[in-house]
Chains A and B, each alone.
Chain A
Amino acid sequence: MDTKCGILGQTGLQFFGRITASISHEIKNVLAVLNENAGLLQDVVLMAEKGIPLNPERLKGVAGTMGKQIQRADGIVENMNRFAHAVDENTKEIDIHETLSLLLGLTRRFADMRGVTLSPAYGNSGKFLTSNPFFLENLLWCFLDFAMGATGEERELTIATEENEHAIRICFEGLKGLAEKDAGAFPSERESALMKALDADFTMEPVRSRIVVALPKKGFR
């Protein structure tokens, strides 16, 4: 696949596959909860038919759980839809905070599995740049994935943004384990190719326990 698609195609497909597999797993979990709660309602009705009185509070609780899981599924599918539309346009104006929030929503399960808490530390107001939405998401995922493995024992990762006239900087902070990471292993060929395509740059700052990715405001043509 590498020789035919090139490194960007290969890493993009791997990213797409990994995220959609995670989404399908999350949806399965929601369905499992709904399945058990629907079954529980059937059990309660069967018991009522045998003369055991219905407990309205118990029924309210089950309905509440099902409603909560439907909301959860709605959020998952909404994120999936926005992710799928990232490939619609080659370049577009992007609100980096929206992109980060989408990425954190899509990858929260990976963080949970690794016991890492993700803390967004950017405001609601937008910071805008022009870039390729899919490659940008892919690059930020690569950095997020690496940063999650560099949080050390504290297992908390803060994501902040900074802005100047020409660039937006994404700061992955709280990386107490950054100094122990193999300096030669990151960025690999795939991250280097994505940064080249997006005109992006990065700095590792072990003393400040952070990695900063700099994205030009006009970065992809």
Chain B
Amino acid sequence: MKIRVLLVDDEKDFVDALAERLSMRNYDVTVALRGEEALDKLRQYNFDVVILDVRMPGIDGNEVLSEIKRIKPLTEVIMLTGHATVESAIEGMKQGAYDYLIKPCETEDLVTKINRAYEKKAEHEERIREARVKEIISSPRAALKDA
């Protein structure tokens, strides 16, 4: 299955080119040009990794990040930033972002970070699955009750 990426940035020409390049590398890419649009898409669909610009009109990147971590806590987020907003990106990592990249960035760096973020999410989901299985084996009645 392809890694599902949501790319969020208000620079349309940037988003279009990067989305095309990531699609060529076999990612399943969806784009959003505003924070509000990104959150709508996140509520409707599941994504593995969100690439999120820090500075955007309307809801800014850090606010979007907080909302992502509230509604889809396992989705990993990579912050995109200019030099002037590196502090905001670091703040984002304290709030749970996986990593950040400074624009303009090398595509191969971005691809590496997307893959690592996906692996982290997949491992986390696997551990949750294992915990559920253990719970069912150790106490099937309780598990059925919870279900």
Contacts of A39 in B (CB 8 A): 17, 21, 107
Q: Is the CB of A25 within 8 A of B84?
A: yes
Say if the beta carbon of A115 comes within 8 Å of chain B: yes
Say if the beta carbon of B11 comes within 8 Å of chain A: yes
Roughly how many angstroms separate A31 CA and B13 CA in the complex, as a whole number?
11
Q: Is the CB of B84 within 8 A of A36?
A: no
Q: Mark A103-138, 1 if CB is under 8 A from B, else 0.
A: 000000000111100000000000000000000000
Say if the beta carbon of A101 comes within 8 Å of chain B: no
Contacts of B11 in A (CB 8 A): 29, 32-33
Residue of A nearest to B58 (CB): A115
Give the interface residue-count category, chain A.
Answer: 20 to 34
Contacts of B21 in A (CB 8 A): 36, 39-40, 43
* 24-50 of chain B: CB within 8 A of chain A: 24
Q: Is the CB of A28 within 8 A of B18?
A: no
Contacts of B104 in A (CB 8 A): 28, 31-32, 34-36
Q: Mark A14-43, 1 if CB is under 8 A from B, else 0.
A: 000000010011001101111111011001
Give the interface residue-count category, chain B.
Answer: 20 to 34
- Min CB–CB distance B118 → chain A (angstroms): 21
The 5 A-B residue pairs whose C-beta atoms are closest, nearest first, are: A35-B104, A36-B17, A32-B104, A32-B103, A28-B82
Say if the beta carbon of A45 comes within 8 Å of chain B: no
Contacts A28-B103, A31-B104, A39-B107 given; indicate if A65 touches B55 (C-beta within 8 A). no
Q: Is the CB of B57 within 8 A of A115?
A: yes
Q: Is the CB of B84 within 8 A of A24?
A: yes
Q: Is the CB of A65 within 8 A of B103?
A: no
Roughly how many angstroms separate A34 CA and B85 CA in the complex, as a whole number?
20
Contacts of B107 in A (CB 8 A): 36, 39
Contacts of A33 in B (CB 8 A): 11, 13-14, 17
Q: Mark B69-88, 1 if CB is under 8 A from A, else 0.
A: 00000000000001111000
Q: How many A-B residue pairs have CB under 8 A?
A: 60
Contacts A28-B103, A32-B104, A47-B24 given; indicate if A37 touches B17 (C-beta within 8 A). yes
Residue of A nearest to B107 (CB): A39
- Min CB–CB distance A57 → chain B (angstroms): 14
Contacts A28-B82, A28-B83, A113-B57 given; indicate if A40 touches B20 (C-beta within 8 A). yes
Contacts of A32 in B (CB 8 A): 11, 14, 103-105
Q: Is the CB of B55 within 8 A of A113?
A: yes
Query: Mind listing 12 A-B residue pairs with CB under 8 Å?
Result: A25-B84, A28-B83, A29-B14, A31-B104, A32-B104, A33-B13, A33-B17, A36-B17, A37-B17, A112-B57, A113-B56, A115-B58
Contacts of B83 in A (CB 8 A): 24, 28
- Min CB–CB distance A145 → chain B (angstroms): 16
Contacts of B85 in A (CB 8 A): 25
- Min CB–CB distance A29 → chain B (angstroms): 5
Roughly how many angstroms separate A112 CA and B20 CA in the complex, as a whole number?
26
Roughly how many angstroms separate A159 CA and B137 CA in the complex, as a whole number?
71
Q: Is the CB of A36 within 8 A of B57?
A: no
- Min CB–CB distance A118 → chain B (angstroms): 13
Say if the beta carbon of A196 comes within 8 Å of chain B: no
Roughly how many angstroms separate A62 CA and B18 CA in the complex, as a whole number?
12
